[in-house]
Amino acid sequence: MNDVVSLPARLDATTAPELMAELLAYDHAADIRLDAAKTVHIGAMGAQVLLSACRTADASNRTLSIDNLQPRAHQQLSLMGLTELTTPKEAT
């Protein structure tokens, strides 16, 4: 089962806690897809939540993917050194 979570237009200190709570509420056995089609800004707090979710998923052998990442949001993650979030993982 894959769950899809739509990310807000601005993922920052205001919206990051809401995303964290939503991700924590999901089934811990399910893969998670994040839809970033509307996201034009990712701040440090938002990136921190995404990184934590990615590492939590990895530790429990789940997949977390960020789909439809907009160029500006991609650039912001890259500038923060978080290219691991922008590169799809190969299936094992």
Domain positions in the chain are 2-84
This prediction's pTM: 0.88
Round to whole Å and give the CA distance between 31 and 63: 5
Q: What's the pLDDT at 90?
A: 55
What is the CATH T-level fold of the domain 2-84, as seen in this structure? Transcription Regulator spoIIAA (3.30.750)
Phi-psi bin for 68: left (phi > 0), alpha (psi -120 to 50), beta?
A: left
Q: What is the pLDDT of residues 37-58, one digit of tens each?
A: 999 999 999 999 999 999 999 9
**Band of residue 14 on the pLDDT scale cut at 50, 70, 90:** very high
